[in-house]
């Protein structure tokens, strides 16, 4: 997979994680463990996108 395709894939995943975080946070009793995992994954994806952009 070339870098632009990989970055686009990560961008899509980042948006999906954002939606999942929003949905979980709006539940009557949000699962804090799940929210923490989702937020960490979203941060990792963001950092990976930035690393790849720097390589371009």
Each domain of the chain, given as residue ranges in start order, spans 3-55
pTM score over 0.95: no
> What's the confidence (pLDDT) of residue 56?
84
Query: What pLDDT, in 10s, does the model give residues 1-52?
Result: 799 999 999 999 999 999 999 999 999 999 999 999 999 999 999 999 999 9
Packing angle, helices 32-55 and 3-26, rounded to 10? 160
Q: How far apart are CA 48 and CA 41, in angstroms?
A: 10
> What is the pLDDT, as a whole number, of residue 32?
97
């Amino acid at each position: 997979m070339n870098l632009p395709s990989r970055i686009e894939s990560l961008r899509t995943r980042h948006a999906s994680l954002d939606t999942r975080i929003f949905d979980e946070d709006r539940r009557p009793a949000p699962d804090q463990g799940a929210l923490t995992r989702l937020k960490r994954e979203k941060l990792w994806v963001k950092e990976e996108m930035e690393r790849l952009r720097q390589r371009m």
